[in-house]
Amino acid sequence: MAITVDRGRGGLKTPVVPAPQSGYAHVDGLEMYYEVHGAGGTPLVLLHGGLFDIDQQFGALIPGLAATRQVIAADLQGHGRTNDVDRPLRSAHLASDVVGLLRHLGVARADVLGFSVGGATALHLAIEHPELVRRLVISSASFHPDGDRPENREAVGGMTVEMIAGTPMEQAYRARSPHPDRLQTLLDKLGSFDEGVPGWSDADIRGIAAPTLITVGDCDAVTLDHAVRFLRLRGGDVNGDFVGVPASQLAVFPGTTHFHGLARTDLVLDVVLPFIDAPPPAS
């Protein structure tokens, strides 16, 4: 919990959040950059999307998320302050990196929020390492390639440095990366992210132990049909007045594209905080 300080008799108590800590974990050839914000509660792990990093994806969200819990945020392979290594970008590799980071930090179990590439990574964690994940938030990510709009992969696959010149992503990469000259390499790897991976089966999704919150924009790279299918496989799309509100939920953010999937800070916090703060579901 955040410590409170009384600002005088009858005054308001102002939350004092511990100063963030940062460091690097040596994981499978990576010097993986991470930050730890806040204290108390079940830790919440934040995993960003492709071309983003901790600051760009979660900078506005972290103060609200870390007010009453510890928040652990990481820069994934080749992103932000974390170096790249000679391997393709695959959710299985990234999930293995996160497992190594949690071991480095001595975290036995956490809530996990992942966006896009980070969402695919979080999903892999929940399925292959269920003992590590208490609650799961998957934002703007599919569990099977048939849930992605085909034009998105085509566009990402053709991205060049010239196309993003002058954008915040290009500027942040060059300012933070340990190898600022490898931006095209990162773009190429993102263009083939999880290439050849068949996706998860319906049985895999049904079998996830962690209550799951799915968020998607109403004009996202992931189709709404797929998001609803995801919800149904997690036990949702029922008449809650008769059978109760399911442990797994779906939030569709209006007027929201893939790029801006977590950009509406107040809306995201209003959706995510009640979900991760909810009591355990009845067995």
Residue 12 counted as domain residue: no
Instruction: For residue 54, give the CATH number of its domain.
Output: 3.40.50.1820
Question: The domain containing residue 98 runs over which residues?
Answer: 18-277
Strands (DSSP E) found in the chain: 3-6, 13-16, 21-27, 30-37, 44-47, 71-74, 110-115, 133-139, 212-219, 249-257
Residue 5 counted as domain residue: no
Q: Which of 136, 168, 148, 167 is nearest to 234 (CA)?
A: 136
Per-residue pLDDT of 139-197, as tens digits, reads 999 999 999 999 887 788 889 999 999 999 999 999 999 999 999 999 999 999 999 99
Per-residue pLDDT of 90-112, as tens digits, reads 999 999 999 999 999 999 999 99
Residue 282 counted as domain residue: no
pLDDT at residue 12 above 70? Answer: no
Residue 1 counted as domain residue: no
Q: How many other CB atoms are there within 10 angstroms of residue 219's CB atom? A: 14
Percent of the chain with pLDDT over 90: 88
Write out the DSSP string of 212-230.
EEEEEEEE-SB-HHHHHHH
Q: Note whether 2 and 40 are within 8 A (CB).
A: yes
Residue 41 counted as domain residue: yes
The whole-chain average pLDDT of the chain stands at 93
Q: Note whether 189 and 88 are within 8 A (CB).
A: yes
Instruction: pLDDT band for 282, please (50, 70, 90 cuts).
Output: confident
Residue 252 counted as domain residue: yes
Q: What is the pLDDT of residue 14?
A: 43
Instruction: pLDDT band for 18, please (50, 70, 90 cuts).
Output: low
Residue 238 counted as domain residue: yes
Count: domains in the chain: 1
Q: Note whether 214 and 250 are within 8 A (CB).
A: yes
Residue 2 counted as domain residue: no
